[in-house]
A and B are shown apart, each in its own frame.
Chain A
Amino acid sequence: MPVLHDDDRDPLDDRIRELAREVNAPPATPREEMWQAISARRQAQPRRAPRPRWVPWAAAAAAVLAVGIGIGRMSVPESNRPTTPATSVADAPRVNPTAYRLAAEEHLAQSEAFLTLFRASLERPGDHRLASATARQLLAGNRLLLDSPAARDEATRRLLEDLELVLAEIAQLSPGSPAQDLDLIRDGIERGDVLSRLRQAVPTGTVPNHGAL
C-alpha cells in the first residue's frame, strides 16, 4: 500500500471535484418542516430515566478484556485471521448463500463474545484502545454482511444494524473517553437487547474462532 497524501491527485481530480459539487447540489434546508416532524416524533417517545453519571473503575476487569482479547489473538494462526477487505461486496464474486449464513453466524458469535467481554470491562477503568481496534475490525465485517445476502433476513438485518451502532461507538473510544461515553455504549447494548439477540441468533455449538478478537 503506497503512502497516500491529499495531493496524490490526477489533474482530472480537480475537475471531478468541481463538478461533483454541482451534482446533487442541496436545495435550501427545509428547517421548519423537518423540525416539526422531529418534535412530533420526540413527543411520541417515552422519556427515559437519566443514566448514572459515573461508574467507579478498577484495573482488574480491564485486564480481563485485554487478556481475553489477547488470548483470542494468540490462539488463532496468523493465516486464519481476517484482514481488512480491500474491495467491497459489490466487487465480490457470487457465493453460495449458505456461505453468507455461516459467515454471519461466525461474525455474530465473535461479536457476542466481544460484547460480553467488553461489557464486563465497563465495571473497571482502563484503556479501551484494544477494544476500539477490535470493534473496528468487527465493524468492517458487519458492514460487509449488511451488504450481503445474509442481511436479506429481516431479523438478521435489524440485528446487524443495531450491532453496527454499538460497534461504531466502541470504535470511537479513545484513552481519555469519559465515563458517559461508556454509559452510552452500555445503554445502547441494553436498550436494543443486543446481547440477548446475538445469543439467540448464534446456533448452539457455534464457537467463535476469535479472528477479530
Chain B
Amino acid sequence: MNDRELIGRVLAGDPGAERALYDAHVDRVFRLVYRMAGDLDRAQDWVQETFIRAFDRLAGFRGESALSTWLCSIAISVSLNGLRQVRRARDREVGLDDAGPLGHQPIQADPDLRTRLGQAIEALPDGYRAVFVMHDVEGYTHDEIARALGVQTGTSKAQLFRARARLREALADFARE
C-alpha cells in the first residue's frame, strides 16, 4: 500500500492504517529526532509529538512532497522548539555565561576525538546543527532539508558550509596530529 492509499484510509478513520503509517515512517523520524535530541527520553517525547501533530494535520497533506519529507519537517520543527526549551531550562539553572553544550563538559576537558566532535556538534547553532545532522549524518538532500526547514536550498548549503567550518575549527588540533 502506498502513502496515498494509507493516508486515505487514515482519514477515513481506519485505526489500523494509522498504525501502518506510523510503522512505515517511525524509524526514519526516530533516527533524525534522536540525533537532534541526543537523549532517549527527549527523543521519545519529540517523536510522539511529531506523530500527534502529523495525524492532526494529515488532511492537509496532498503529496506534493514525499510523506517522509513532510513528517521530517514536523519532526525538525518539534526538535528545534524542544532544544530551545531545554536550553532555556538549562540557562535558568546555570546562568547564561556559564552555559556549555547540552549535557557535556567543556570541550577542552576531553581529548577523545569522538567525544569532542559530539560536543562540537551540540555547540553548533540549532540551524547549523539541523542541516549538518540531516545532510552529513542522515543523508537528506538539500532539497529535502530546505522543505523541512522552510528555507531556500542555497541557505541549506550555506549553513552546511558554515557548520563544517565550525567543526573543522573545533577539531583543528586533531587534524594536525
Which A residues form the contact surface with B (CB < 8 A)? 1, 4-6, 8-10, 12-13, 16-17, 19-24, 26-27, 29-31, 33-35, 37-38, 41-42, 45, 48, 50-51, 84, 88-91, 135-136, 139-140, 143, 146-147, 151-152, 161, 164-165, 167-168, 171-172, 174, 176-178, 180-181, 183-184, 187
State the 6 A-B residue pairs at the shortest beta-carbon distance, nearest first. Answer: A184-B60, A88-B125, A171-B150, A26-B34, A23-B118, A178-B62
Q: How far is the CA of A139 from the CA of B48 in the complex (A)?
A: 24
- Our pick among A6, A26, A172, A187 for the contact of B35 (Cβ within 8 Å) is A26
A147 B126 Cβ-Cβ under 8 A: yes
Residues of B within 8 A of A22 (CB): 114
- Chain A residue nearest in CB terms to B165: A10
Some 10 contacts from A to B, beta carbons below 8 A apart, are A12-B175, A19-B114, A23-B118, A31-B23, A31-B26, A34-B48, A88-B126, A180-B60, A180-B62, A184-B60
Residues of A within 8 A of B160 (CB): 4
Interface size on B, residues (CB 8 A): 60
A57 CB to nearest chain B CB (Å): 16
Residues of A within 8 A of B88 (CB): 151-152
- Our pick among A8, A23, A41 for the contact of B48 (Cβ within 8 Å) is A41
A174 B64 Cβ-Cβ under 8 A: yes
- Our pick among A88, A90, A164 for the contact of B81 (Cβ within 8 Å) is A164
A151 B121 Cβ-Cβ under 8 A: no
Asked if B19 lies at the interface with its beta carbon under 8 angstroms from chain A, I say yes
A13 B127 Cβ-Cβ under 8 A: no
Residues of B within 8 A of A13 (CB): 136, 164, 168
Asked if B73 lies at the interface with its beta carbon under 8 angstroms from chain A, I say yes
Asked if B94 lies at the interface with its beta carbon under 8 angstroms from chain A, I say no
B52 A42 Cβ-Cβ under 8 A: yes
A168 B77 Cβ-Cβ under 8 A: yes
Asked if B90 lies at the interface with its beta carbon under 8 angstroms from chain A, I say no
A151 B84 Cβ-Cβ under 8 A: yes
A20 B84 Cβ-Cβ under 8 A: no
B81 A23 Cβ-Cβ under 8 A: no
B57 A172 Cβ-Cβ under 8 A: no
Residues of B within 8 A of A35 (CB): 19, 22, 26
Given A12-B168, A33-B44, A143-B127 in contact, is the A24-B35 Cβ separation under 8 Å? yes
- Chain A residue nearest in CB terms to B139: A21
Q: How far is the CA of A77 from the CA of B27 in the complex (A)?
A: 49
Q: How far is the CA of A12 from the CA of B147 in the complex (A)?
A: 28
- Our pick among B44, B47, B128, B147 for the contact of A172 (Cβ within 8 Å) is B147
